[in-house]
Amino acid sequence: MNFKLLLNKTKGKLESINIPLLVVQGLKDDTVHPRSAQYIYKRAGTTNKQLYLLPNSGHLLCWDQEKEQVCTIVANFLNHNL
């Protein structure tokens, strides 16, 4: 499926998200612009949401400089929401 087509089909559905949401974005990401993470966070319908912008990470968060922080963020999110 074409990625832009997928984006167009899902953008309008963000407000229907009603479960806990975690958005983590690397500020050095050269694939996905950080404003995309902010867009998702702002438009998601749930009130239980968290946004983390990591200043020293790129697109592959789990292998980048802040990988330990990513693991901690995800573990904490899961512990509080499962």
- What long-range pairs does 64-67 form, CB within 8 A, spacing at least 24? 64/26, 64/28, 66/26
SS3 at position 3: helix
Report domain extents, the chain.
Answer: 15-81
Question: pLDDT, tens digit, for every residue of 17-75?
Answer: 999 999 999 999 999 999 999 999 999 999 999 999 999 999 999 999 999 999 999 99
CA-angle at 41, arms to 37 and 42, nearest 5°? 120
Q: Is 2 a residue whose pLDDT tops 80?
A: no
pLDDT at 43: 96
- pTM value is 0.90
